[in-house]
Structure 1
């Protein structure tokens, strides 16, 4: 049943597509799966199983993103960067890795998107682990969306 009195999304907004944000990263399996607690929006904590990291360098920063979830057999990264809270959703954005092989993975930040909790207080979303909070701007993917 739909509540017509609730706010609705006006439209989705994106940064211009930028091929510089399509990164072929080194895809490395951890020596053994690691159980890690992850905070969630709303104050709860869940435990995820970490199996891989994606390594790349950007603007002089060595990055090792942790894949915290899997969607449709593809690794998902929960990220936050220096656009968060100003130009993008404050809590996080989600990024699905593509074309993973034994050694490499494609990270297309143009496809980074706002999680469900960015649109409703009724959704629970994971927050990024410390390693996935990036010290630079990712001007790619979904921007803040107006709710009317």
Structure 2
């Protein structure tokens, strides 16, 4: 495929409708982030080992081993797991990578998860100040200029791709099914894509020339709908979002592959959160 075959900016017919839809999308995104047990409610990231230990903000003593995650609850302590009360000793079992189980303790959710091959516990308290003080994520005003079409190029076979994480020393491995090629300001650009949350969809992690200036330095995320029959995809950079690590140190977010560092300024999407400092 030559560069001349790659579509460019999308023609948005009604800018007012476009802006209203973006505003609704951004409100919904922030509402999920700041929901009662959303990521802003996380009060700690605790790495488990074979040695049982208490976890601040959670009942019991926690450990992990060949059989998976184990909690030993004290007399009078109780968790709800899958709606059933648990007392004493409870084996959560082996948690799959990027999987997790939520246990309920009063108004708190205790997330038991595996990230980068390590078992972790993250309590989520609704009254956490990061959540209760949240006023929304700053973002660039929506601009149709940043809606571009491109072409999805599938690899012959998914490529296992190792990337870093917001936690030093941690690594994530994802299968990259292909890449997205597009044009912006007359330049051909490429982004390695991972599988999205729904079958057929894609997800892209990237940085650009705004990263660390007006947007979060480590990464931004863009969801991409399933490619059309001819491989056409739409990239709406107005909907480039922060991952949880932009707001809190209790996240293990993946970093973009090296090739996804765009040599242009994407002045669209979400900016550095207020929680991380002033935004220009």
Calculate the TM-score normalised by the size of structure 2: 0.50
After TM superposition, the structure 1 stretch with the greater mean CA deviation from structure 2, 61-70 or 21-30, is 61-70
Pairwise mapping of residues 61-140 of structure 1 onto structure 2 (< 5 A)? 61-73=187-199, 74-102=201-229, 103-140=231-268
Deviation at 1:5, TM superposition (A): 5.7
Question: Given that residues 9 and 145 in structure 1 are in contact (C-alpha distance below 8 angstroms), is that contact kept between their aligned partners in structure 2?
Answer: no
Greater helix content: 2
- Aligned residue among 137, 146, 153 for 1:21: 146
Larger radius of gyration: 2
- Quickly say closer, same or farther: Cα 1:117–1:69, change in 2 above 3 A: farther
- Quickly say closer, same or farther: Cα 1:126–1:69, change in 2 above 3 A: farther
Aligned equivalents of 2:158, 2:126: Cα separation in 1 = 43
The residue number in structure 2 matching 1:53 is 179
How many residues of Structure 1 are paired with residues of Structure 2 in the alignment? 148
The superposition leaves residues 98-125 of structure 1 with CA deviations (integer Å, 9 ceiling, x where unpaired) of 2522411111000000001111111111
Question: Given that residues 167 and 251 in structure 2 are in contact (C-alpha distance below 8 angstroms), is that contact kept between their aligned partners in structure 1?
Answer: no
Aligned equivalents of 1:130, 1:49: Cα separation in 2 = 15
Calculate the TM-score normalised by the size of structure 1: 0.91
The residue number in structure 1 matching 2:271 is 143
CA RMSD of aligned residues (A): 1.7
Aligned equivalents of 1:6, 1:108: Cα separation in 2 = 32
Deviation at 1:3, TM superposition (A): 6.3
- Structure 1 runs (4+) deviating above 3 angstroms are 3-8
- Quickly say closer, same or farther: Cα 1:52–1:5, change in 2 above 3 A: closer
Structure showing greater relative contact order (alpha-carbon pairs closer than 8 Å, 6 or more residues apart):
1
Q: Identify unmatched segments of 5+ residues in structure 1.
A: none
